[in-house]
Every structure is written in C-alpha cells, then in structure tokens.
C-alpha cells in the first residue's frame, strides 16, 4: 500500500516540525534574469555576442571574412534592431573580417576599437562602413575629465561592461611587442552578480603584465582566451589573477597556426579552468543567472557545464596609477562621423636585418626562411618577403618559429 505509506511518511514529517502545522517554503531571492554570451564558431577568428537581461546587445569582434555567411544570419537571428555596441578588439582580419557585413545587416548604435591604427585595406573599409552606418564612435579610454575612473557601460539589471585597456593617451599604447596590434587589444570585463566574463582579444604577455600593475579585480568566471590559445599569452601570473573556472578558445579546426597550443592549454588546466573550444565543439553558449554560469557547446561533448561565480568586488580596487614605464604616448584622433581619416596612431616599423620570411602558397601565415615547417612542406610554391613589415601587412607570424 504505497499510498498509505506515503501518508504515514508525510504525517511523521509534519509531526517532526516544531510548532508548525504545515511547512512553508523559505523565502528565496528572485532568480535573476539571464545574461547570455554566445561564442560563435567562426573558424579561425573571434566573434562573441553579449545579450543582457534587458536585451541590450554587444558584439565583440566579427570573425574572419569567410565566416560572413554563417555569422551574419546567426546575429540577425539573435538580435532585433541595431546592436547597441560593436567592439573591435583590434584591427586584425580574423576579428574584423565579417564585421562590416554584420553592421550593414543589422545596424549598430555605437562602435569602439582601441584607436590604434592599422594600415590594412579591410580596416579602412570597415571604418568607412562605421562612418556611414554607426552613430557614435568611441574608444575604451577613460573620460578625460575623470582619467582615474575606468570607462563602464551599463547593460541593465546591474550588468556592466568595464573597459580595462588600452587607456591611451593617458597610458601609452604598448610597443615593441611581438604584435603591437594584438598587444593593444580592447580588454573588457563583463560582470553580473557574482559572475564575470573577461574578454581579452589577442592580448600579448605585455598586455597582461601591464594590466597586472593596475589595482583591478580580474577574477572572472569565464575567460575568452587570448590569441586563440597562442603559446605566449595566458601567462601563469595573469591566469592566477583571473582564476577562470571556464575558458573559451575560439579557433578554426585544423588551423595552421597550431592553435590552441599545448603550452596555453597546460597553463589553463593548471588553474583548473574547464576548456571549451569552438574548433571541436562549435558555438559555445554561456548563460549567467548572476550566481552560476552554464556553458553549452553545440556539438561534440555537448553536456552543459555549470560553474560557480565567485564574489567579485568592484572592478577597480583603488586609484589607477598611470603607466610610467611605457613608450611615449602616441597621439590619437578618433575620426569624425563619415570619415576614416584622422587616426594618427601608427604601428611602429620593426627593424629588420636581412632575414627573409616565407609563406607557403595559400597560407595566411609567414615563417622564418629556416623554419622546419617550410622544409617539411609539400608545396614548393611560396612567397618570399625581404622585409618583415611587408610580410606582417599581408600575413600573420607563424607560432612555430615566431618570425
């Protein structure tokens, strides 16, 4: 007689409750509305969309050019009306390639990039589209009237996006790095309740070192891993400060950069981050309720994974010291609406000393002439560069030989 047994059990339970005829549920804090971050599968590149609990939308990066026929319809599906903000972390093709098409398709109210110039045709074209289609152009720099206060953007329901870097002209752009374009990526922390997401573009070790000098709380539940899991970024001291519980690596299946590298994967593993990869798992959707973040990859091992948010204090922990040990500030002019002219920050030329650089036919990277990868390559069709500056304009340095 299971029913009788159930009644009996209920009676015993009620009798055990002191002074109460019937249990009343404990008052619970109302569940926070979800914040969703989509890490799109754009192949070798980055693109992530933030949708706040109140429906505010921020697109960070727009993948490589070849992602346009998947990225544009996907953003259109998720976004009604113009994007509230588009952030280009830095003007490399794997981050800006499909951005103009996305902006043309859905529109955007505001556009932000580091303000660090890059002499590429695709970046010029993007700025032209921004000039025609986007109302407001901004940089992550603090407001000149409050240079110690980081720029924050409210997205409703207590969700904030805090811009951590770069802070030019208050702090100089980082120079003499492996890639100054990467090193000056926009770094932004998205916080919601006890949870946080850190977006670092293709930040270089120098970016991480610069950030660690600042009194900033980097603790983040989810880290968008720098430079597609490249070998040099995601240094141990930086990861120790971020303490990510989950790490999302955006890269292409079978890419010829060797991303993600074993070194980066090891360092992420060492801090206990669960790793999600768009090359293996497709789009990764992360939903925060303010206390936990649930990450669901679209394919592969697609079991949703929930990670706990840690209590995060105010992002800035004290007065922001100014950069003292940096190179001289580079002047920065944000173009007026409708023009792409006026950006005067320039990428410093790298001195070369007779080294030649070689790219295999069809490859997007270049190697040192003596790199073993070139010796092993089947194709003999290759492009030879006599100066690095030209090679960098057309292709990207390979991870294996660090040209």
Which residues are at the interface with Zn ion (CB under 5 A)?
A: 92, 94, 182, 202
At CB < 8 A and 24+ separation, what contacts does 382-388 make?
Answer: 382/358, 383/358, 383/359, 384/356, 384/357, 384/358, 385/356, 385/357, 385/358, 385/359, 386/356, 387/352, 388/350, 388/352, 388/355, 388/357
User: Looking at beta carbons only, is 57 or 182 nearer to Zn ion?
Assistant: 182
Smallest gap from residue 118 Cβ to Zn ion (A): 10
Distance, in Å, from the CA atom of 72 to the CA atom of 89, rounded to the nearest integer, reads: 18
Smallest gap from residue 199 Cβ to Zn ion (A): 13
> By three-state DSSP, how is residue 192 classified?
strand
Smallest gap from residue 279 Cβ to Zn ion (A): 13
User: Looking at beta carbons only, is 41 or 94 nearer to Zn ion?
Assistant: 94
Structure tokens at 175: 């120079």
Smallest gap from residue 42 Cβ to Zn ion (A): 11
Smallest gap from residue 46 Cβ to Zn ion (A): 6
User: Looking at beta carbons only, is 61 or 84 nearer to Zn ion?
Assistant: 61
Q: What is the length of the chain?
A: 403
- CA nearest neighbour of 193 among 152, 158, 239, 219: 158
- CA nearest neighbour of 164 among 92, 238, 55, 107: 238
User: Looking at beta carbons only, is 84 or 180 nearer to Zn ion?
Assistant: 180
User: Looking at beta carbons only, is 165 or 289 nearer to Zn ion?
Assistant: 165
User: Looking at beta carbons only, is 93 or 287 nearer to Zn ion?
Assistant: 93
In sequence order, what are the beta bridge partners of 189?
162, 198
In sequence order, what are the beta bridge partners of 57?
51
Smallest gap from residue 187 Cβ to Zn ion (A): 13
H/E element, 136: strand 136-138
């Amino acid at each position: 007689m299971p029913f009788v047994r159930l009644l009996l059990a209920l009676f015993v339970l009620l009798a055990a409750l002191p002074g109460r005829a019937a249990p009343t549920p404990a008052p619970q804090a109302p569940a926070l509305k979800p914040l969703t971050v989509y890490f799109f599968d754009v192949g070798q590149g980055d693109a992530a969309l933030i949708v706040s609990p109140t429906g505010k939308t921020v697109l960070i990066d727009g993948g490589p050019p070849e992602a346009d026929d998947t990225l544009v319809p996907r953003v259109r599906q998720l976004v009604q009306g113009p994007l509230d903000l588009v952030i280009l972390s830095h003007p490399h093709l794997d981050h800006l390639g499909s951005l103009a098409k996305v902006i043309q398709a859905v529109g955007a109210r505001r556009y932000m990039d580091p303000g660090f110039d890059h002499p590429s045709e695709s970046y010029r074209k993007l700025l032209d589209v921004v000039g025609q289609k986007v109302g407001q152009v901004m940089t992550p720099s603090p407001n000149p009237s409050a240079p110690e206060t980081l720029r924050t953007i409210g997205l409703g329901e207590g969700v904030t996006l805090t811009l951590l870097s770069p802070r030019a002209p208050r702090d100089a752009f980082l120079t003499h790095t492996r890639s100054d374009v990467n090193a000056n990526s926009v770094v932004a922390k998205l916080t919601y309740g006890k949870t946080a997401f850190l977006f670092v573009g293709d930040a270089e070790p120098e970016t991480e070192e610069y950030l660690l000098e600042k009194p900033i709380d980097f603790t983040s539940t989810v880290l968008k891993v720098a430079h597609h899991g490249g070998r040099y970024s995601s240094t141990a001291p930086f990861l120790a400060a971020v303490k990510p519980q989950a790490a999302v690596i955006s890269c292409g299946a079978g890419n010829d950069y060797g991303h993600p590298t074993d070194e980066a994967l090891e360092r992420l593993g060492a801090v206990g981050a669960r790793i999600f990869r768009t090359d293996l798992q497709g789009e990764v959707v992360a939903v925060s309720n303010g206390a936990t973040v649930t990450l669901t990859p679209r394919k592969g091992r697609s079991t949703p994974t929930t990670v706990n948010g840690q209590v995060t204090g105010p992002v800035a922990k004290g007065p922001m010291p100014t950069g003292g040990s940096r190179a001289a500030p580079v002047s920065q002019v944000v173009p007026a609406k409708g023009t792409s002219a006026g950006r005067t920050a320039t990428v410093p030329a790298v001195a070369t000393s007779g080294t030649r650089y070689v790219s295999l036919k069809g490859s997007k990277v270049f190697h040192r002439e003596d790199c073993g990868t070139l010796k092993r390559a089947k194709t003999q069709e290759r492009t030879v560069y006599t100066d690095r500056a030209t090679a960098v304009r057309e292709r990207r340095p390979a991870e294996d030989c660090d040209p």
